[in-house]
Amino acid sequence: MPRYALKIEYDGRPFAGWQRQSGHPSVQGAVEAALARLEPDLPAIAAAGRTDAGVHALGQVAHCDMAKEWDPFRLAEALNYHLKPQPVAVVAAAEVAQDWHARFSARERRYIYRLVSRRAPLTHDTGRRWRVPHPLDASAMHDAAQVLVGRHDFTTFRSVQCQSDSPVKTLDRLDVSERAYPGGTEYLFDVRARSFLHNQVRSFVGTLERVGAGRWTAGDVAAALEAADRAACGPVAPPDGLFLDGVGYPDDPFA
C-alpha cells in the first residue's frame, strides 16, 4: 500500500480536537471520512500531534496508506472536495516511504500562540486570538520566557491528564514579539521543541501573560519551574490563540 504524507490546515473551533472520538466531531474523523469516499476500508491515519478542542493548525502533518497509487496533487484535490464545507483543508500531499511516520519521524513541532491586547471585543478573530483588555510588556515576557528554554522537568507546565512517560523535555525556543493590531497590539509566542507535554504551550503563555501584566517576574517563572508542581503554574491560556504552525522532518516530504 503506498503511503502519503498530508499537510493539513484547520480551524479547531467546531471540533473536539484532532483525535477521533465517539459521538464528537474531530479533525481526524473528518479526514478519514473524506478518505473513505475515495477508498473504503482504509487503515486509520496517524498525525504528528494531537491538538485539543478549539486549537487550530496551519501545518499539521498526517500520513495515510492507500490501496492504489495516487498522484499527490489529485489526492489533495479529491480530499478537499469531500471535506467541504468543514473548515479543514489539505494544503499539500506527497508520497513517502513505507517506514515514514508522521509522528515518529518528526524532529520538531512548531506552535504559534496569538494574544491581542485591546479594550474592544474581537470580531473577525473571535476564537482565533486570546484577547485581554490590558496592555502587556513584550520585552518582559520574552526575557522571562528564556528561563524556560532548555532541558527541564516541566511538571509545573503540564496538565494532570498528560500521558507522557516523563515530564522532562527540551524546549528549543520560546520567543515573544509584538506587532500592531487594529485598536491594540498583538503578541506572538513562537514555541519550538521536538515534543510537548499536554497543555504545555498554553501553560507557558498563561504564565507569561502574568509577567507582561506586571503581576509576575522572571524570578517567579523560574521558581514555578523549579517547584515541579502543577499548583505553581500561572493561569492556563485558552485554546483560541494556539496554532500548530508546522512540523519538521530530517527530509521535508513537501519540499
Catalytic residue numbers? 52
Q: What ranges make up the beta strands (E) of the chain?
A: 3-10, 46-47, 56-65, 88-96, 108-117, 130-132, 150-153, 168-181, 184-193, 242-248
Other beta carbons within 10 Å of 15: 26
* Beta strands 56-65; 242-248: pairing state: parallel
CA distance 37 to 78: 9
Q: Measured between alpha carbons, how far is 205 from 209 in angstroms, rounded to an integer? A: 6
Contact call for residues 104 and 44 (beta carbons, < 8 A): no
Decide: 209 and 235 in contact? Cβ < 8 Å: yes
**How many angstroms separate the CA atoms of 87 and 228, rounded?**
38
Which among 114, 108, 87 is positioned nearest to 202, based on CA atoms?
114
Neighbouring C-alpha atoms within 13 Å toward the C-beta of 252: 9
